[in-house]
Amino acid sequence: MAAKEELYSKIIPRRLRQNRASNAVKQGSHLDVLLSMGFPQSRALKALVSTGGRSVQLACDWLFSHVDDPFLDDPLPREYVLYLRPSGPLQNQLNHFWQQSRLTCGKNKAHNIFPHITLCQFFMCADSKVEALCGALQSSVSQWRGRFPSPLPLELYTSANFIGLFVEEQVAETLKKFAADFAAEAASKADVHVEPHKKQLHVTLAYHFPSSHLASLEKLARGIEVKLGCDWLAVLFSRDIRFANHETLRVMYPYVPQNEDELELVPGDFVFTSSVEQMSTSEGWVYGTSLSTGVSGLLPENYVSRADECDTWVCHGSHSFFSASPSEKSNKESRTLDGLLSIQCLDNSRPGDSSILSVVCQPMQVLRINSHCRTPKRTLFVCRHGERMDVVFGKHWLSQCSDAKGRYVRTNLNMPPFLPAWGGGHRDYDMDAPITVFGAMQARTVGEALLETNTTIDFIYSSPSLRCVQTAHEILKGMQLDGKLRIRVEPALFEWTKWVSGSSLPAWISPTDLAAANLSVDTTYRPHISISKLNVAESYETYMSRSYKVTKEVLADCKNKGGNVLMVGHASSLEACTRQLQGQTLRNSKEFIQIVRKIPYLGMCACEEQDSGVWQLVDPPILPLTHGPNHSFNWRETLQQE
C-alpha cells in the first residue's frame, strides 16, 4: 500500500505534465523527463524498456497501470533476440502462405512467431544498457550497408514435420559475420554477451504439424516466389523472461472479479499462464498474470483464447540494410498483407534517430473473408447446447422446485415456467436436465444472429439430451423456422458416455413426447445409429468413431438434397464431429478433454466442404456468445444480514 501511495504522490497534474514533457523532450531524453517527474530511476527504466522507449506518455501509463505489480521493483532483465525480417513483395508472399496454411491446416508451431531468420540466441540485457544496445545495432547495420547480399538466395526444404526456406551456405556465412559484428558492438557499447546463431540460417514456414498436412503445406510452400524483391530489416525484440515458457492468451471478453483471488479482464489485454500453476485451480478456471498490470489471479477459461508467442514482444529497433531509414512505402506494404495484419512497428522514436521503431508488437491475425466474394459452399455447423439447470442450481436442482406432492414449482426466475410432460407423468430429470431461461435466451440470440447474417440451415440434428433438443428448438425460433424445419433426434450425437454418472444411460424423452411438448421434432425420422447401440463407459476411440461415422452418414444423406446442416450437441461435439472430417488424426484423450473444457454454452464451429471434397474449419458467420458467471442472490440474507 505504501508503494502505491508513494507512486501516486509523484503524479503531476495532466496539463502541467504534458507541458513539462513536451519541453523536456526537446532538451533531454525520455529518461530525464521521467526522473524530473519524480519517478525512481529503476522504475522509469523498466517502463521505458517495457514500452520500447516510444514516448514519455506511454511509459507513464505503464507505470500507473502497474501500481499493484509485485515485480515492479524486480531488477530481473528482459530477454532480447535479433532477427532478420523481410519486407516488400517477399514478405507479402510469406504472409499469404501464413494465412493459407492456417486456414487449410490450422495453426502449427511456426505461427507462434512471424516470418524471420534468427541471427542470435536469446540474451539478457539490463534495462540501463538497452539504449546502448540499440546504438550497437544501429552502428552495425550502418557499417554493413552496401555489403549485405542482395538478393538473398533461399531454397525450399521439406521433411516429415518441417518446411522452411534455407539461406545458401556461402551467403549464410556472410550473415553470420554480420551477427558476429553486432555481438562485438554489443559487448563493447553495452557490456552484453550475444551468442550468434551457429545453425543453418533459414525462414521457418511450418513445423510440428500432423503428417497428414505435409502434402497441402508443401504445395502452398512451392507457390512462394523466393526471388521476389525484398528489403531485409535487422530487428531487435525483447520479452519478459519470467513468461518465456508460459502460454500466451488474449483476453476476448471483460470480466469483473467477484472474489479477491480473481483477475480483472479487459479485452485486448494478454494473460500469461503456466501449466505448473494450473494444478490446483477449479475446472473452467485458470491462473494467470496480466501483461498490462502485472497482477496475477484466477480467470474464467472461456474468456480468453490462445495467442501467438510474439504477440507480447516489444520491438526496440528496426534497421534497413539498403536505406538509411525504412520508407513510408515499405511500412505500408508491411501493413497490407493479403488479408493478414503483420507485426507493425510505429515510428515514434527519439529525435534524430528516425530508424528506431518501437512498439509492443501487434498480433498477427487472419481477417474474416468476405462471404459475398466467393461461391457458397455446403457447411456443417456444430453447436453446444445452452445453459443447463443442473449446472446452475446444482445436481439436486429438482428438489429445489418440487412441492410436497412432487409437482414442479418454479422457485427462481432462471428456472423454466414448466417442464415438458408426456405419457407416464413426471420423470426423473437427474440424468437429463433441461436448459434454463437464460439457456433458451442464449439459443434464441444465436438463431437471431444467424437470421441477420442470412445464414441458411436446411437440416437440423440434435443429441437426444433434452437440453440439446430445447436448444435446437430455440435456435429455430430465433431464425423464424420453428414449425417450418423439424429437428432430427440422433442418439449418436450424445456425448462421450464415459462422462455419464451411474451404470445406465439417461432415459431420454421419446421424439413423440418431445413433439407433444410443442418442440419442433421430426417424429418420422429414423436415426442412423439407434440408442441400443450406445454403451456406458465407452472408450475415447469408440466415442470419436461413432461421432465421425454419424457425421459422415448425415452429410452423405443430406448431400443428395443439398444445403447446410446444423448439429446441436455437447461441448465435445465440436471436436468429435469435425476433426476426422478434416482428415486429421485424433488427439490423445487428455488433449481432447482440455479442448472440451474451453467450449462455452452455444459455442459454435463451422466446417466447410471444399471443391476437392475435403472439409475444413472456417469462421462461423456469427460472433461468439459469452454469458458470464453469476452468483445466486437472496435479498433477505444479503440486505438484512446483521
Active site residues: 384-385, 570
Which cell numbers in the block locate residue 529?
Answer: 445409429
Beta-bridge mates of residue 305? 250
Residue identified by cell 503445406 is: 217
Peptide bond into 75 cis (omega under 30): no
Strand partners, 370: none
Q: Which amino acid is at 39?
A: F
174-208 burial: b if 16+ Cβ within 10 Å, else e: bbbebbebbbebbeebbebebebbeeebbbbbbee
Q: Are strands 304-306 and 296-300 parallel, antiparallel or unpaired?
A: unpaired
Q: Are strands 379-384 and 604-609 parallel, antiparallel or unpaired?
A: antiparallel
Alpha carbon distance 196, 138 (integer Å): 17
At residue 203, φ and ψ (nearest 5 deg) are -105, 115
Residue with cell 488479408: 339
Helices and strands of the chain, counted as H and E runs? 19, 20
The alpha carbon torsion through 394, 286, 542, 504 (nearest 10 deg) reads -10
Nearest to 300 by CA among 356, 333, 359, 255: 255
Whether the CB-CB separation of 81 and 73 falls below 8 Å is answered with: no
Helix intervals (H) in 285-436: 328-334, 389-393, 397-400
Dihedral pair phi/psi, residue 373, rounded to 5°: -100, 10
Write the DSSP assignment of 456-467 as a string of letters.
---EEEE-SSHH
- Extended beta strands in 378-509, E state: 379-384, 459-462, 487-489
On whether the CB atoms of residues 380 and 456 are closer than 8 A, the answer is: no
DSSP H helices in 145-168: none
From CA 153, how far away is CA 172, in angstroms rounded? 9
Is 587 in a helix, a strand, or coil? coil
